Amino acid sequence: MILYHQAFDLYHSVYRLLQILTYFDRNEYVEVERLRIWDFYLLFPNKMSNIKLKRDEKDVRLMIKIFILKDSNPYELLSDNRKMFEKIKPYQLGALKCLASYGIIDKDYLHSNRVTIVSKKILSTYTSKFEPLEPKEVNAIRLLTSHFYLMPLFGEFGLKARTQLLESKYDA
């Protein structure tokens, strides 16, 4: 029996990362780990409800509940988020290397575990050929690239600790 899941498709990983980078308007860089976390939550948007949020982030929790959560899919049941996150790592890194080879992101920054867009023009030539995303996917990307970009990656209240997808116990 042949099973397909978009998590294990290199081309779908490239597609998701291109979509995320399209909504990332800053001229700065984003860490590879942060981008991988964003990609995971774009792939499994229902898992965003598991992110630990502070009490003063009620509006974010409400946005996730109203605009992002969708009906559960029995084929997307994950017993362990961290294991799935590690299983898709080779596809995510392969997709980033592919984007670097096309000249969309900077190769030198990628070697230092950072992603920065080289040319918005090249990025837009690829993304203009895509069909529009569903509103829930657009809302997920907007929330990830805004609120979860401003959140630190490391530390007790960092993105790694809140999502528990990556080990954060020994982060400085």
**What is the torsional sign of CA 67, 141, 37, 77?**
positive
pTM comes to: 0.90
- The rounded mean pLDDT for the chain is 87
Instruction: Check pLDDT > 90 for residue 136.
Output: no
CA angle, 143 as apex, 46 and 156 as ends, to 5°?
Answer: 85
Give the mean model confidence (pLDDT) for residues 150-154. 87
Q: What is the pLDDT of residues 27-73, one digit of tens each?
A: 788 999 999 999 999 998 888 888 888 888 888 888 888 887 777 76
The answer to whether residues 154 and 160 touch, using CB atoms and an 8 Å cutoff, is yes
Instruction: Check pLDDT > 80 for residue 109.
Output: yes
**What is the torsional sign of CA 15, 32, 101, 121?**
positive
Alpha helices by DSSP H, listed for the chain, are 10-23, 32-43, 58-63, 81-87, 89-101, 107-111, 120-127, 135-150, 159-163
Instruction: Check pLDDT > 70 for residue 125.
Output: yes
